[in-house]
């Protein structure tokens, strides 16, 4: 009989309040997840999906509860920006590519925080763009490529620092079904190859069904499995 794998991510009694406690965006959220898993976060708009991703990525702090990533309590992290650079990758619905920088330069940008030299940044970014089939577009500006290509470049940027945790907030929301599926396939394949944990917030039932597991939220609380 196989022993259960140690959880990479542990979320315990997590809550987030706003307006001095009058609004509870998240209430008593708890779950565990393993490296290599691809998990869909589902639920209606306003249910807390984006809030949860923000807490997991240290873009915000919880009102109560705790988050442990690879055994590290995120409440003890003093330099959130450095932690994100080393451990977390983000893909958003709106790609947030810097418009005056080429795709290559956009993918290189997260590596600056790690103190990598220019040559290594270029080599790693070029290799990552090759893996998402964008080598021929490396020196194009975001406005010069399609929406699907911009989002694939955003995936490359999110993965280039080999994060432990990859967070995607409606990454296919502005794409047609073909390009949307291609982006999700890239996220899943690249994350599994690297042993990363992926959480994808999505309204798309087909995307949710294709992932390993679903965590459903409503009114800031978990729904039963």
pLDDT at 10: 96
Half-sphere exposure of 85 (CA within 13 A, CB side): 13
Q: Which residue range is the domain that position 136 belongs to?
A: 34-60+78-218
- Specify if 172 maps to a domain: yes
- Specify if 114 maps to a domain: yes
Cα distance between residue 215 and residue 52, in whole Å: 11
Q: The whole model's pTM is what?
A: 0.87
Q: Is the pLDDT of residue 1 over 80?
A: no
Are the CB atoms for 71 and 47 separated by under 8 Å? no
Half-sphere exposure of 53 (CA within 13 A, CB side): 27
Q: Which helix (H) or strand (E) holds 184?
A: helix 177-194
Which CATH number do you get for residue 84?
3.40.50.300
Q: 88-92 and 213-218: which strand pairing?
A: unpaired
Q: Which helix (H) or strand (E) holds 214?
A: strand 213-218
Average pLDDT, the chain: 88
In sequence order, what are the residues at sequence separation of 6 or more whose Cβ sits closer than 8 angstroms to the Cβ of residue 218?
43, 44, 47
pLDDT at 5: 62
- Specify if 9 maps to a domain: no
Residue 134 in tokens: 């964008």
How many domains does the chain divide into?
Answer: 1
Q: What is the CA radius of gyration of the chain?
A: 17
Cα distance between residue 34 and residue 148, in whole Å: 29
Q: Is the pLDDT of residue 180 over 50?
A: yes
Which of 36-45, 140-149, 177-186 is predicted with the least confidence, judged by mean pLDDT?
Answer: 177-186
Render pLDDT for 16-66 as a digit per residue (tens, 0 to 9).
Answer: 998 877 889 999 999 999 988 999 999 998 899 999 999 999 999 999 999
- Specify if 125 maps to a domain: yes
- Specify if 116 maps to a domain: yes
- Specify if 208 maps to a domain: yes
Cα distance between residue 110 and residue 113, in whole Å: 6
- Specify if 145 maps to a domain: yes
Render pLDDT for 93-109 as a digit per residue (tens, 0 to 9).
Answer: 776 789 999 999 999 99
- Specify if 12 maps to a domain: no
Residue 206 in tokens: 């087909």
Q: Is the pLDDT of residue 190 over 80?
A: no
């Amino acid at each position: 009989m196989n022993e259960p794998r140690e959880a990479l991510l542990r979320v315990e009694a997590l809550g987030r309040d706003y307006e001095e406690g009058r609004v509870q965006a998240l209430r008593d959220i708890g779950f565990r997840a393993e490296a290599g898993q691809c998990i869909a976060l589902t639920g209606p708009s306003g249910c807390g999906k984006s809030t949860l991703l923000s807490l997991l990525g240290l873009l915000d702090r919880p009102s109560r509860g705790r988050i442990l990533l690879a055994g590290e309590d995120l409440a003890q992290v003093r330099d959130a920006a450095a932690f994100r650079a080393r451990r977390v990758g983000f893909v958003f619905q709106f790609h947030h590519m810097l418009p005056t920088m080429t795709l290559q330069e956009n993918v290189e940008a997260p590596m600056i925080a790690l103190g990598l030299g220019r040559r290594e940044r270029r080599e790693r970014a070029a290799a990552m763009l090759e893996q998402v089939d964008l080598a021929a577009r490396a020196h194009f500006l975001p406005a010069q490529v399609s929406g699907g290509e911009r989002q694939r470049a955003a995936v490359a940027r999110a993965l280039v620092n080999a994060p432990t945790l990859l967070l995607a907030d409606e990454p296919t929301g502005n794409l047609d079904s073909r390009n949307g599926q291609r982006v999700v396939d890239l996220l899943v394949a690249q994350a599994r190859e690297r042993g990363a944990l992926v959480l994808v917030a999505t309204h798309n039932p087909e995307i949710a069904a294709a992932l390993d597991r679903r965590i459903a939220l409503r009114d800031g609380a978990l729904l039963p499995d």
